[in-house]
Amino acid sequence: MPGRVLVAYGTTNGSTAQIAEAIAEVLREDGAAAEALPAPSVESVAPYDAVVVGGGLYAGRWHKDARRFVRRHRRALAERPLWLFSSGPLDPSASERDIPPVPGVRKTMVRLDAREHVTFGGRLEEGAKGWVARMILRSGKGGDFRDFTAIEAWAARIAAELATAVPGRS
């Protein structure tokens, strides 16, 4: 298995960060030196053998930090195994069916030859930042729709794929 795996994420209220941490934990349990980091804090992906990037979905777009991360590191990301995830639907739909990536993420997948993308349910609870979040909560559409069993199963699939990968090659 490649030694170092980065799980970079863009989040506003911490939900996507918790998903990234869960993914990194599964990868660590499988023997990788995995770390979950906020996308803006990553200066280089050069030390990593593989990368997972996730972003919360806001108004049909990936979180700005995730978008900026893939733009800033696109050359290096194209040279290593890459997986993408989104978090967002505030209903059980992500647990009921596969939700395709939003158009901007789909373009990223093609440009960087990402191995896979998955959409997980999101979380929006009282105290969330932003007026849109507060409006959604007022309408009664908040809650936690993350499925950590599915998140951990996806991370285990990544670990299995990495176990057969040659370090430094995609």
Q: What is the pLDDT of residues 25-52, one digit of tens each?
A: 999 999 999 999 999 999 999 999 999 9
Q: How many angstroms separate the CA atoms of 119 and 129, rounded?
A: 22
Distance between CA atoms of residues 49 and 47, nearest Å: 7
- At the fourth CATH level, which superfamily is domain 4-163? Flavodoxin domain (3.40.50.360)
Q: pLDDT of 95-132, one tens digit each?
A: 999 999 999 999 999 999 999 999 999 988 777 777 77
Mean pLDDT of the chain: 90
Rounded to two decimals, what is the model's pTM?
Answer: 0.91
